[in-house]
Amino acid sequence: MDKIAISSAKGGVGKTTTTYLLAKKFTYDGYKVGIFDADIYGPNIFNMFKVDINDVKKSDGSNIFEPVVVENIQISSVELVLRNNEPAIWRGPMLSKVLIGLYNKVNWTDVDVLLFDMPPGTGDAYITVFNDLKVEKSILVCGDDSLSIEDTKKTVLFLNKYKISILGVIENMSENFSFGEDIINSKSLSANLNDIPVIGTVPRLTKKEIYNNCLNSNKIYAYLPNFN
């Protein structure tokens, strides 16, 4: 199983959206895909897949529980163990314990690629995922703005410290071109992250456009990396 973290210290750059799109792309390319939602305090992956958490079967506390399967994608989230709409009010050590428990207790079935939807920051969740869960690869998500780029540099420093292989950066919400047009890569990303390849550039899309373009067309996959 190939484990890849979708990372950025910056919040709001679209890590969950990128994870969703990559999962769809990997599935389209013939891989068996899983998603581990590592954002304990703000899990959104079920929402992206239009999963009603009221219909999700909760873990009964046993040693193993089943992931939610949507469109052949296996998904694990803290929402499998929390009561509906209950916030996760945990300090660092407990957060790490929950992450490890969620990962170890999921009955992943023949997964080729497991994507980790990471939270913002470079704190406890990142240390747990890369140190304890032995994730050795990451894809960065960045916007074409100074705040996003500076926070991405911090992410790079963190990943380098833990000797994580950075597969590349995906620019999300690009305003340099529109959906259906040829990619225009950001000069800022290339200039500031010159040792990391830009492997995908996704134009700014509404949530409705994301769903429509994924469900009704494969054209959006042209903006994502090809790992075949």
- pTM confidence score: 0.92
List the chain pLDDT tens, one digit each, 228 residues. Answer: 999 999 999 999 999 999 999 999 999 999 999 999 998 888 889 889 988 777 666 555 566 778 999 999 999 988 777 666 666 666 667 778 888 988 988 889 999 999 999 999 888 899 999 999 999 999 999 999 999 999 999 999 999 999 999 999 999 999 999 998 999 989 899 899 988 999 999 999 988 888 887 777 888 999 999 887
Q: Cβ contacts of residue 49 below 8 Å, gap of 6+? A: 20, 70, 71, 73, 75
Where in the chain are the domains?
2-223
70 burial class (0-12, 13-18, 19+ CB within 10 angstroms)? middle
CATH number listed for the domain at residues 2-223: 3.40.50.300
| Cβ atoms 10, 120 nearer than 8 A | yes
